[in-house]
Amino acid sequence: MTDRDENLFEAAEPPPWVNQGGRQRMRSFGFLHGVRALDGRAFGSISLFPNRPDVIEAGRGRLFIAGSVFAIAFTVVSVKLVDASLYDPKRTVQISAGFAEETPLAPILRADLVDRRGDMIATSLPVASLCARPKLIRDPAAAAHAVAFVLPNTNAATLQAQLERGKDFVWLHRHITPTQHDQLMDLGIPGLCFEKEQRRVYPQGGLASHVAGFADLDGKGLSGVERKFDELLNERGQPFALSVDLTVQRIVREEVQKAMDRFQAIGGVGVLMQADTAEVIAMVSLPDFDANDAGAAADDARFNRATLGVYEMGSTFKIFTAAMALEAGHAKLLTRFDASKPLKIGRFTIRDFQAKNRWLTVEEIMIHSSNIGAARMAEMSGPGGQRAFMGKLGMLQPVALEVSDVGSPLKPRRWGDTAMLTIAFGHGLAVTPIHMTAAVSALVNGGIYRQPTVVKRLPGEAAQGKRIVSEKVSDDVRWLMRQVVVNGTGRKADTAFYPVGGKTGTAEKARGRGGYDKNQKLASFIASFPIHDPKYVLLVMVDEPKGRKDTYGYATGGWVAAPAVKAIIERSGPALGLEPIGPEHPARQTAILSIKKRPKEKR
């Protein structure tokens, strides 16, 4: 273009494209208004050259040139659009005066996660993310400092390095706020671009983080239900209902946290399961994490103690030992076993915590939590019978729960006599809290085992299940659990209006080099309520509690976990719609709740 040609674009007012806050606007104008002729004379309209053929021809030439310029410009824009489409078919590009803004095609939002009442657990919101076309950035240093001023969590030097790489496309910051989006637009920096995305948001924070899990910036599930149903959630338009109840979840979390704080524990678990359907109503693992910022969480907080952690559960296993003996016909409630002295096997000696030093009935073995009595009961079935019964209860395989992190039980290498005797009172076989809760649910619901689930079931939609014990044995197990609460080590778990049955457990934690550490314990309590008509099973486990003066230095299941169970049942009963069972309620006359002892059985 010559100097004379450049004069065509000299004007008394600003150029037609003006930058107003980063948004390019074009003002309509006449091409001949306020410009100069080729000979340097100013003119305002074509009336300066009336009826002259050479002027008309000159005008046609200029129109041809202008049309050619616009055609070339549109061609360049079209090529850029094709290039952008090939680069990422999910994006389209809008270019205005050198300012490129990327806009995706309509995204498919990931399905919401809701609890059994329809309350929100996870949802996806449309957000913008900041990107750039470095080749269009004229001053990377200035652009980087301007962006860093708007986004305080970014580093100007890092941004500048990204802009100087010479790539066609780079991400600068994912998921910015609407205010930040407007501020960045107002910078008016050519080459910055924005992409519309979706961000996974967890309104409950850490309340259900181990159930729901979390997704990454691209919406891909990384843990929990988010990972297990990743593809389904991206395809499903309707909300996906989980079995958890957020109201009950919050109660369980608060009470387990209180127990941890009171006994200075390092962790805790709370699992509440519906006994007849095996639906998980609440599942808490503490410490937990905010699912909105999972990357900042410590490994211990992301570890799901309820489904991934495997533990030797201690005396809670005596429920299984008693059920096994009753189902096999090796014992009845009043059958007696010799617990008069410690039981020696090889170099090991089995003792009772508070020894009675006499023969005990099955009922007394449960009430006093006798290790010796439980071992004697297991002898009746033998190693093979015990292993088969544990297998029927699902204790030898990972639980098929719809979360990503599920632990495998730790079984003895050789299931011989020694393993049989120790497993009878909860040592030698390590399982997850979900294993424990599902197995006890089967023993109290009439004898049917069902795979636990975190997906809401419709009424009548419960899985078929398989029978483990007879209804008579199920009744006997509930009777034994009730006696533990009324007369035994679980007294602190009972409530006034929701009768409880259960079993305490205190287990020393295994050391890495073998053996057990007496200073590191797991205190637990497994409960069913209301025990005369069991609707729910609740497990509370506290990891490494410390004794207190007001507990006489004890940090056992009866002192640590049982009070937490009581508080959870009292608070969650109304939320679960349970009818209070007061002193005058007819249910108090049922065999399990009656204060009268059962008739003596023939041996």
Which residues, in sequence order, are bridge partners of residue 284?
270
Buried b (16+ CB within 10 A) or exposed e, 309-345: bbbbbbbbbbbbbbbbbbbbeebebebbbebeeebee
Is 467 domain-assigned? yes
Q: What is the pLDDT of residue 84?
A: 46
Number of other residues whose CB lies within 10 A of the CB of residue 349: 10
The verdict on 268 and 227 lying in the same domain is no
Say yes or no to pLDDT of 545 above 90.
Answer: yes
Say yes or no to pLDDT of 142 above 50.
Answer: yes
Q: Provide, rounded to the nearest whole percent, the portion of the chain with pLDDT above 70.
A: 80
Say yes or no to pLDDT of 95 above 80.
Answer: no
d(CA 198, CA 129) in angstroms, rounded, equals 9
Owning domain of residue 501? 248-294+306-589
The verdict on 48 and 174 lying in the same domain is no
Which parts of 545-588 fold into alpha helices (H)? 557-575
Is 379 domain-assigned? yes
User: For residue 454, which amino acid is it?
Assistant: V
Residue the block writes with tokens 């309707």? 238
Highest mean pLDDT among 14-28, 78-92, 512-526: 512-526
Q: Provide, rounded to the nearest whole percent, the portion of the chain with pLDDT above 90.
A: 68
Is cis: bond before 287, omega within 30 of 0? yes
Say yes or no to pLDDT of 2 above 90.
Answer: no
The verdict on 227 and 270 lying in the same domain is no
Q: What does the pLDDT look like over 217-243, one tens digit per residue?
A: 888 999 999 999 999 998 877 899 999
Say yes or no to pLDDT of 1 above 80.
Answer: no
The verdict on 125 and 253 lying in the same domain is no
Question: Using 50, 70 and 90 to split pLDDT, how confident is the model at 40?
Answer: very low
The verdict on 465 and 566 lying in the same domain is yes
CATH number for the domain spanning 170: value is 3.90.1310.10
Which residues, in sequence order, are bridge partners of residue 94?
101
Is 192 domain-assigned? yes
Q: What is the pLDDT of residue 568?
A: 98
Is cis: bond before 107, omega within 30 of 0? no
The verdict on 176 and 52 lying in the same domain is no
Please give the average per-residue pLDDT across 38-46, as a whole number: 38
Is 318 domain-assigned? yes
3-state percent helix, strand, coil for the chain, nearest multiple of 5: 40, 25, 40
Q: What does the pLDDT look like over 96-106, one tens digit per residue?
A: 233 344 444 44
The verdict on 485 and 461 lying in the same domain is yes
Is 600 domain-assigned? no
Total count of domains within the chain = 3
Is 98 domain-assigned? no
What integer best gives the mean pLDDT of the chain?
A: 85
Task: Confirm whether 315 is a catalytic residue.
Answer: yes
The verdict on 490 and 352 lying in the same domain is yes
Is 97 domain-assigned? no
Q: What is the pLDDT of residue 345?
A: 84
The verdict on 223 and 340 lying in the same domain is no
Nearest to 545 by CA among 558, 536, 527: 558
The verdict on 561 and 516 lying in the same domain is yes
| Residue 146, CA atoms < 13 Å, CB-side half-sphere | 17
d(CA 432, CA 436) in angstroms, rounded, equals 7
The verdict on 471 and 413 lying in the same domain is yes
Q: What is the pLDDT of residue 94?
A: 37
Nearest to 434 by CA among 417, 422, 451: 451
Q: What is the pLDDT of residue 69?
A: 63
Q: What CA–CA distances, in Å, run from 253 to 40, 215, 262, 284? A: 84, 23, 14, 6
**At which of 205, 224, 241 does a domain end?**
241
Is 531 domain-assigned? yes
- Burial tier of 249 (Cβ tally within 10 Å: 0-12, 13-18, 19+): buried
Please give the average per-residue pLDDT across 303-309, as a whole number: 96
- Of 285, 315, 370, 404, the catalytic one is 315
Q: What does the pLDDT look like over 399-456, one tens digit per residue?
A: 999 998 999 999 999 999 999 999 999 999 999 999 999 999 999 999 999 999 999 9
CATH number for the domain spanning 343: value is 3.40.710.10
Q: What is the pLDDT of residue 48?
A: 39
Number of other residues whose CB lies within 10 A of the CB of residue 367: 20
The verdict on 371 and 255 lying in the same domain is yes
381 contacts: CB under 8 Å, gap ≥ 6: 324, 325, 328, 330, 389
Question: Using 50, 70 and 90 to split pLDDT, how confident is the model at 166?
Answer: confident
